[in-house]
Amino acid sequence: MQNDSIKKTIFVAVALCLVCSFFVSLAAVSLDEIQKENKRLDMIKNILVAGGLYDPSVDVQAVYENKVVPLLIQLDTGQILNPEDYPEGIRVGTYEIKKMAVDPAFGRPVDPGEDIANIRNRPQYIFVYQVMEGDKLQRVILPIYGYGLWSTLYGFVSLGNDLKSIRGIAFYEHGETPGLGGEVDNARWKALWPGKRAFDDAGNVVLSVIKGQVDPKSAKAQYQVDGLSGATITTRGVHNMINYWLGEEGYGPFLKTLKQGGGRG
């Protein structure tokens, strides 16, 4: 076969494609486990960030194991399950909120009238995370998700032991635009959250992520967080998801259980 013949050109092109696809598939298969493990560690890191426990110089897995206690709760009732009562197929290491929300056995649709976070489906069981000091609750870290502009944002928000003030927020997955809605990952923006009051004295959610900057002199400043500039729609999404998940339709029943002393160490 001559070097410039059509047959040889096609043969070389096909052979090159086959060799390349073999190596790409090999890389995808062999890196799959590593990617899953990195995803798990990133999720743990964000649990710690939201809980105000993240220290980049310390191994995240070790901090998580020492300080964080996962609890499976039933969202509708706020009831905490004992590990021996966990439904078949639900384990902390393999639990995926996205899959659970749409699972015919473990998820349920959200009534459109109540769906302010635009999530459509939610899991019936969800893992929340307690941080204990001895037998005293220090903070509780709660998974949250809701729609922004381009995507559903998945993250965590944590409350202090008064169950009224925010300790932190962090997102581990979203598809918002870097530099606009993607600024939800900006450490300076996340630093605005700790200490904000989520509830008023009557227990209503009052936290508001506003358009623009909070006036520090305003009496409402303790209930408000600056919005993301140029990203009003993502800002509204974060506002809505906080209000949904901390409200009666979200973790309201579970927070009641905790207030009645029903947590576990």
Residues near ligand FMN (CB under 6 A) are: 149-150, 176-177, 180-181, 229-234
- Choose between 181 and 263: whose C-beta lies nearer to ligand FMN: 181
- Choose between 158 and 234: whose C-beta lies nearer to ligand FMN: 234
* Residue 240 CB, nearest approach to ligand FMN (Å): 12
- Choose between 9 and 213: whose C-beta lies nearer to ligand FMN: 213
* Residue 225 CB, nearest approach to ligand FMN (Å): 15
CA-CA distances (angstroms) from residue 189 to 4, 42, 47, 123, 168?
A: 60, 19, 17, 29, 11
CB atoms within 10 A of CB 142: 22
Query: How far does CA 44 lie from the centroid of its chain?
Result: 10
* Residue 177 CB, nearest approach to ligand FMN (Å): 3
Burial of 174 (0-12, 13-18, 19+ CB in 10 A): buried
Rounded Cα distance between 9 and 121, Å, is 52
- Choose between 53 and 149: whose C-beta lies nearer to ligand FMN: 149
Structure tokens at 161: 């032991």
- Choose between 110 and 184: whose C-beta lies nearer to ligand FMN: 184
* Residue 118 CB, nearest approach to ligand FMN (Å): 14
* Residue 209 CB, nearest approach to ligand FMN (Å): 12
The residue among 165, 149, 154 whose CA lies nearest residue 227 is: 149
